[in-house]
Amino acid sequence: MQTPENRLKTALLAGQVQYGLWLSSGSPVLAEMAGHAGFDWCLIDAEHGPNAVTGLTPQLQALAVSGTPAMVRVPAAEVWMIKQVLDQGCQNVLVPLVDDAATAALMARAMRYPPNGIRGMGASSARASGYGAMPAYIREADAQMCLFVQAESRAALDNIDAIAATDGVDGVFVGPADLSADMGYPGQPDHAEVVRAIAHIIARTRDAGKIAGIITFDDTRIADCLATGATFIGVGSDVTVLGKALRGLTSRLTGVAAA
């Protein structure tokens, strides 16, 4: 049994735009449904969603059935969190609130085995290696890991060149909501100053030869994201899509009753 290729990383490094969905519900059923919907990737959100480590595996298994690449956003920039996610078999990790190159470098080391990093040697009995069925896993895993760090503060904006240049960081992902709030414009990700900041982060990321990512729940903004140079684009979440559909259904029922 061979260590699987990280198809998402391969596609992104080839310059292919990859669209994905946030999974915020903690539901393996919705993860499986999203996996079969045709997205290029799905992200399990353990920062804001109800996703503890024990809840990751069923969702990762559900996505594996569909063949859709999975990413996990860990709750914080902590080495032990990275270790647990990787041992669960996830090859793609997003780390929130990375404000400087030192933090980015530590996260990059957490993604890799010694001598290139500090990842603990426990995968031989974990899902990552097929529970020991991949004998070459510890030699081959590093090349398949993909790390995105989130730039979502004024500090990250100031330090973007150093963050993007960090070895082992594959991409920088802009968090428009937190960035706008930290810049003094909470709830205004479309404010002119925030838009300029986002464009700057993406441009500097691309100039460093790294992948730029962003999320928008507004379909009309996808073209703008592409125009700035982002190729890793989140387009919604399971919770928002389902909530909108349910509210639309009740709204139609109200109209039927009124008629």
Q: Are 207 and 199 in contact (CB under 8 A)?
A: no
Instruction: Count H helices and E strands in the chain, helices first.
Output: 12, 8
State how far the Cα of 204 lies from the Cα of 246, in Å rounded to an integer: 40
Q: Of 59, 37, 49, 61, which Cα lies nearest the Cα of 239?
A: 49
Q: Which two tokens stand for residue 135?
A: 């004998």
Active site residue 48: yes
Please provide residue 181's backbone torsions phi and psi, each rounded to the nearest 5 degrees: -65, -45
State how far the Cα of 224 lies from the Cα of 100, in Å rounded to an integer: 27
Question: Known catalytic residues?
Answer: 48
